[in-house]
Chain A
Amino acid sequence: MGNEAIARGVVEAGASVVTGYPGTPSSEVIETLQRLGQGLGIYVEWAVNERVAFEIAYGAAIAGARSMATMKAPGLNVAADPIVSAAYGGVDAGLVVLVADDPGPHTTQTEQDSRWFAHVAKLPMITPSSPQEAKDFTVKGFLLSEALSLPVFLRTTTRVNHAVGEVVTGEHSEPRWARGFRKQVERFVRAGMSWNLERHRWLNKQLARAELVAEELGLNRVEGSGELCVVTEGSAYNYVVEALGELGLGARVIKLGLLHPFPRSFVSRALTGCERVVVVEELDPYVETMVKKLVAEEERLRHLIVLGKDEGLLPLEGELGPGLVRAALAKAAGLEYEPVRRESPRAPPRPPPLCPGCPHRGTYLGILIGISRAGYRRDEVPVFGDIGCYALSVGEPLRAIWTEHSMGASISMAVGLKLAGFRNPVVATIGDSTFFHAGVQPLIEAVHKRVDILVVVLDNQVVAMTGHQATPAWPRTETGRETKPVRLEEVIRSIGVDNLVIVDPENVDEVADAVAKLLRTPGVNVVIARRPCALLDARLHGVRRRYRVVEEKCTGCNACIAATGCPALYRTPGGKVAIMEADCLGCGICTRFCPYNAIVPVEEETR
C-alpha cells in the first residue's frame, strides 16, 4: 500500500521522530511504523492534534533530527499556523509533512486541494504517483528538505495512499537523532520584524534553488515524444499512461514530481516542440494555471494551445478515473471515442451505519428521548455533531445530528447559536479524541462566557473512525511507551463546568434522564457517555453475550429496527425480525424497544 511504502521510505531515510494525527487516507503510515517500529527504536506516536504534531516534528528538525508529521487535508489547516512560520525558521535536518488529499471525496468533509497551501506557506511540495514513488519520494523529500533547509510537503491523494502495488525497497539507514540545538534568535524568534523581513528574503532564495535540487533528485521527467503534450502529476499520471495506450495515441508525457515551486525551466524545456498541451490533474486547475502563465510569459511558447479545466475538458470536482481521462485525451487529440456506458443498478442504499453494539447508538437515543422528556420536540433542540464515527448518527433511523463541521466545532457553533439569542436549549456532541484535539478551548469559551449549553462527550476511549488509535487517556501507546493518562473528567472539571455526570450509553434511560435534567438546568453542563468502542472491545475481550429473537414472541412490528437501526437486526422472509448472531455485539439496546420482550440473550449452552 502507498502508505506502507511511505513508512518504508521513512525507515530508509532514517527519520527518528514521526508523529501526526489520524486521518483517512494518511493514517497507515504511522500505524505501519508502529507495528514494525518497536525494533526500529524511533519515536512513532500519535499527537493530540496536527498542529502539535507539526510543532513536535519541527522541534526535532531544528535540532538535526530527521522528522515527519502526517495528516489529512483538514489537519493541514489545523497545523497551518506553525507551518507558515517554520518556512522562516528553516530546519537543520529533513522534515517532511505528509498531507493526504481526498479527491472524490471518499472520507473527507471537503475536496480541499492542498497544492495551493504550498504557495501560502512558501514551502516546496512534491507528489508521487505510485506506491514505488511514494517510498522513493519520501526519501527524496528528506534530501530536498535538507538541501534547502526547509520543511517539505509530500502531497498524496487517496488513490496513491491506498493503492497496493509492487515496491522495490532500498537500504535502511540509522535513525538521525538530535545533534544539538544552537541559540539563533534571528531564525527562531518571530518577534523581530527586521529578522522576519530578512528571513523572508532568505526563504525566497532557498525556494529559487528548489528546481535545481529537484532535477538532481529526478523528481520530474518526460516520457515519449510528439506534438501532443500532456502535463500531469500524482494519480492522474496513471490514468494518462493507460489512456494513451488504449487510444493508441503517441504523446509526450510531462510528469511533475515537484509541484511547488513550479519547475518552470524544466516545463519550459519539455514543452519545446509541442503544439497542443493538455493538462490532466485532479481538483483545481493548479498545474494548468502555472503552465498557462509560463506559456503567456515565454515568447517561444506563446503559440501553444493549452487545454484543461478552464476549457471544460475535465471536471473541477470529484476524482478522475480512466474513463474521464480517456475521453479528455481523445477529445484533445480530435479522436472519435465512444465510451462504454453502463447504467448504475438501482440497488437498495447502504449508507455506513453505526456498528452493532456501538455505544453511540445508546447515547443518541438517550439524547433524543431526553429532549422529549424535557418537554421539547426533536426539531426544537438542535444537536450539534462533530468529526468521528458518531456523525453516522445522521443516517436513518436516528437522524440525530444537525451539523458536522470541523474538529471541535460542535461546541463553538452551539455557543454561537446561543449568543445570537437562540432561546431553546442546545446540545453539542463530541467524541473523546475530538474533544482532546479541539474541544477543550471551545469548552473554556462556553464556561468563560456563561453560555447555557449541554455538551455530551461520547467517550469510547479510542480514535475509532480512523482505525482505533490511541488517545491521551491511554496509559500506554501503541509502541508500548508508558504514558501518564490524561483523564477526561479531570480536564472537564478543571475548566469549571457547572455540572458533570458520567453515564453508561448502554443504559438509554440513564442517558435520557441526565439529558432531560440538564437541559432544564442553566449553565455549562457536561455528560460523559462512557463505554469502549464495541468493535475494539469485542476484538480485545471477546463478545460478552449475544441476543436472539424468540420467533414465537416476535410480531414483526419492526419497533426494534425502527428505533435502533442496528445492522445485526434484519427482517426475515416470514415477516418477523431476526438477529445475525455473528454480528450482534450484545449491547442489549434493542431489547429496550421491543414491546413484546421478544429479544433475549442467547443461552450459553446454545451458543
Chain B
Amino acid sequence: MTKVVNILVASVGGQGGLTLSRVIAAAAVMAGYSVRTGETLGMAQRFGSVKSYVRIGVDTPVYSPVFEPGEADILVGMEVAEAYRNHHYLRPMGLAVLSTEEKPPISVSLGKAEPVTMKKLIEALESHGAEIIIINAPRLAREAGNPRAANMVLLGAMNAAKRILPDNAVEEAIRAILRGKRAETSIKAYYLGKEYTGKHKPSKEHWEDKAHASEQT
C-alpha cells in the first residue's frame, strides 16, 4: 500500500481548527504532497462541534476528502470533549495530540449531560493503544504572544512526534494563510509546541497541569 496520512482535527468552532487544517494542507502542498481536506464551513459554527479531515498523500494522489472511524493516523484534539467525541476515528496505535483546553458544551452547563474529563479521554484512547501527547496549548500560545495560536502549538507538537511536514513549508503556509504579525506569532507558537514536545515528551505521565479549567483566559 502506498502512504496516505489521515489527520482528524477535532475542535470547538472559533478555536482555529479549520485554520489548522488549512495550514497543514497548504504546507503539504508546498512540500510537494497531494492533499485533500474535508470540512463543513459556514453556518454559525462558533461554539459548535467542528471536525475537519486532512489527508496527505506522500507518494500517491488522494481523492477522498474524508475517511472513516478507525482510519485516522493522528487525532488532533483542540478541546477535551471534542477529542473524546471523535476518539473512535483514531486507528489502533495512532497518535493523539491533545490540548488541555476545556469548553463545556451547553448540555453539560445545563446539567443535562456528563462532562468529559481528561482522565476519561486518556482511558478511551489507551483502549486502542494510542500514543498520547498532552500539551497546554493555550498557555504556550500566550507565551508566543498570540492567544489564538493554540492550534499552531498543536501542529508543532504533532510535527515533533511525526515529522510529516518540513518546517520551512509550515512557515510558508502560515505566512500565506495568516499574514502579518499574527503569522509571526503563530510561527513562534508552532516552534514552542515543537520544542516543548521534543524536550518533555509530554504524555499522560507528565500531565499534571490541572489548572486548565480555571486558566481559560
Q: Hey, which bits of chain A sit against chain B, CB under 8 A?
A: 24-25, 27-28, 104, 106-107, 129-130, 158-159, 162-166, 235, 237-239, 241-242, 321-323, 339-340, 342-345, 347-356, 389, 392, 395-397, 464-467, 535, 558, 561-562, 565, 567, 569-573, 578, 580-583
Contact = CB atoms under 8 A, between A and B. Distances in A.
A389 B112 CA distance: 24
Interface in B171-217: 213-214, 216-217
A239 B66 CA distance: 9
Interface string B35-55: 111111111111111000000
A322 B64 contact: yes
Query: Is the contact region of chain B dominated by helix, strand, or loop, or is it mixed?
Result: loop
A581 B110 CA distance: 19
A241 B68 contact: no
Nearest to B87: A345
B8 interface: no
Interface residues of B, number: 61
Q: Looking at B21, B25, B68, which has the most chain A CB atoms within 10 Å of its CB?
A: B68
A396 B106 contact: yes
A162 B40 CA distance: 7
A237 B36 CA distance: 14
Interface stretch (B113-121, B129-137, B152-160, B161-169): B113-121
A350 B43 contact: no
A86 to B, nearest CB: 28
B111 A558 contact: yes
Contacts of A565: 106, 109-110
Given A347-B85, A348-B107, 18 more contacts: A104-B40, A163-B37, A165-B37, A238-B36, A339-B68, A348-B104, A348-B114, A348-B116, A350-B49, A353-B48, A355-B44, A389-B44, A396-B107, A396-B112, A535-B46, A570-B103, A581-B216, A583-B14
B43 A322 contact: no
Contacts of B86: 345
Contact of B81 (A350, A354, A466): A350
A351 B107 CA distance: 9
Contacts of A578: 214
B178 to A, nearest CB: 15
Interface string B55-92: 00000001111111111000000000110111111000
Contacts of A339: 68
Contact of B63 (A238, A344, A389): A238
A343 B87 CA distance: 10
Interface of B: 12-14, 21-22, 25, 29, 34-49, 62-71, 81-82, 84-89, 103-116, 124, 147, 213-214, 216-217
B115 to A, nearest CB: 7
Nearest to B147: A582
Contacts of A348: 81, 104-105, 107-108, 113-116
Contacts of B42: 24-25, 27, 107, 465-467
A130 B214 contact: no
Closest 6 CB pairs of A and B: A24-B42, A352-B48, A348-B113, A347-B85, A350-B105, A238-B63
A570 to B, nearest CB: 5
A352 B46 contact: yes
Given A347-B81, A348-B108, A166 B44 contact: no
Contacts of B124: 345
B40 A106 contact: yes
A164 B35 contact: yes
Nearest to A131: B36
Given A571-B104, A580-B216, A397 B110 contact: yes
A565 B69 CA distance: 31
A580 B25 CA distance: 31
A349 B113 contact: yes
Given A24-B41, A24-B42, A107-B42, A349 B109 contact: no
